[in-house]
Amino acid sequence: MSLTFKDGVYACIPTLLGYIGIGIAAGVVGKSAHLSVLEITLLAVIIYAGASQFIVSGLMLVATPISAIIFTVFLVNSRHFLMSMATAPTFRKYSLLNNIGIGSLLTDESFAVAMNAIANKQPINAAWMHGLNLTAYITWILSCFIGALIGEWLPDPTKFGLDYALVAMFIGLLYLQLISDKTKRLRNRVIAMLTVTVLLVLLLRFISSEMAILISTFAGCFMGVAMERKA
């Protein structure tokens, strides 16, 4: 039985608290950087990336050149190349327009949910993915808008634990992915995760966090594939 757009909406619900918490925090930070409500909302609509929106707010506050802001945002979001390549085979039979829509709205969270569904052999399709992505997208925009409105009364979102919402959500997604697919050996997964973790910690001493994340992720993927083939 094919999954529907509504199924994608339902699949997104467990991640919404993370979007809401970080979105409100992004709106508050944008307001503290003297951005207007409209500017903060447009950042959410156009950039649609939590880390990048925090960075843009901070760089604009210190009058950083636009070219430097664009380059920094590109580096931060370059991990999306990896996520898109990982999900592309699942949607290769769909039209270019469908794939552009899926890729444009793909986030860390929706990627994790989609990969969990793929690991569980669920028959996900473009309609399901659009439901997942659009629910997250709309929630994010509204959260940033609300954060911008209340920014003057909430100068420090970390006091309310909003900065930890995303971390907590990813811990939950990781747990679900670890227990969902019984066909993969736990040892292989642990080795892949340790590879990423150790390499990331080492690389952070020498290069930027964006490049460290990319390189360590590639290494973890390579290690995971190598372990599966060896098994």
pLDDT score recorded for residue 221: 74
- Whether 66 shows a pLDDT value over 90: the answer reads no
- Whether 13 shows a pLDDT value over 90: the answer reads yes
Q: What is the CA radius of gyration of the chain?
A: 18
pLDDT score recorded for residue 136: 95
The count of other CB atoms within 10 Å of the CB of residue 185 is 12
* Token duo for residue 173: 């997604």
User: 112 to each of 14, 148, 171, 214, how far by Cα in Å?
Assistant: 12, 28, 11, 17
Most confident among 42-51, 56-65, 151-160 (mean pLDDT) = 42-51
pLDDT score recorded for residue 68: 78
Report the candidate in 21, 3, 223, 225 with the shortest Cα–Cα distance to residue 114.
3
pLDDT score recorded for residue 159: 63
pLDDT tier, 183 (very low <50, low <70, confident <90, very high otherwise) = low
Domain end position, chosen among 166, 182, 198: 182
Structure confidence by residue, pLDDT tens digits, 123-164: 889 999 999 999 999 999 999 999 999 887 765 655 665 556
Q: How far is 176 from 156, CA to CA, in rounded Å?
A: 32
pLDDT score recorded for residue 7: 92
Same domain for 165 and 178, yes or no, is yes
Q: Between 104 and 58, whose confidence is greater?
A: 104
- What's the distance, Cα to Cα, between the start and end of the chain in Å? 32
Q: How far is 118 from 102, CA to CA, in rounded Å?
A: 15
Helix (H, G, I), strand (E, B) or coil at 20: helix
Same domain for 170 and 213, yes or no, is no
Same domain for 178 and 201, yes or no, is no
pLDDT score recorded for residue 219: 83
Domain housing 129? 5-182
Same domain for 29 and 68, yes or no, is yes
Same domain for 129 and 102, yes or no, is yes
Same domain for 120 and 35, yes or no, is yes
- Whether 117 shows a pLDDT value over 60: the answer reads yes
The whole-number average pLDDT for the span 221-226 is 75
- Whether 222 shows a pLDDT value over 70: the answer reads yes
pLDDT score recorded for residue 1: 65
* Token duo for residue 39: 């500017």
pLDDT score recorded for residue 85: 86
Same domain for 155 and 217, yes or no, is no
The count of other CB atoms within 10 Å of the CB of residue 196 is 20
- Whether 216 shows a pLDDT value over 90: the answer reads no
Mean of per-residue pLDDT scores for the chain? 82
pLDDT score recorded for residue 6: 94
The residue whose two tokens read 């190598």 is 226
- Whether 188 shows a pLDDT value over 80: the answer reads no
Same domain for 24 and 76, yes or no, is yes
- Across 135-173, b (16+ Cβ under 10 Å) vs e yields bbbebbbbbbbbbbbebeebeebeeeebeebbeebeeeb
- Whether 228 shows a pLDDT value over 80: the answer reads no
- Contact yes or no for 203/216 (Cβ under 8 A): yes
Same domain for 195 and 163, yes or no, is no
Q: Could you give the number of structural domains in the chain?
A: 2
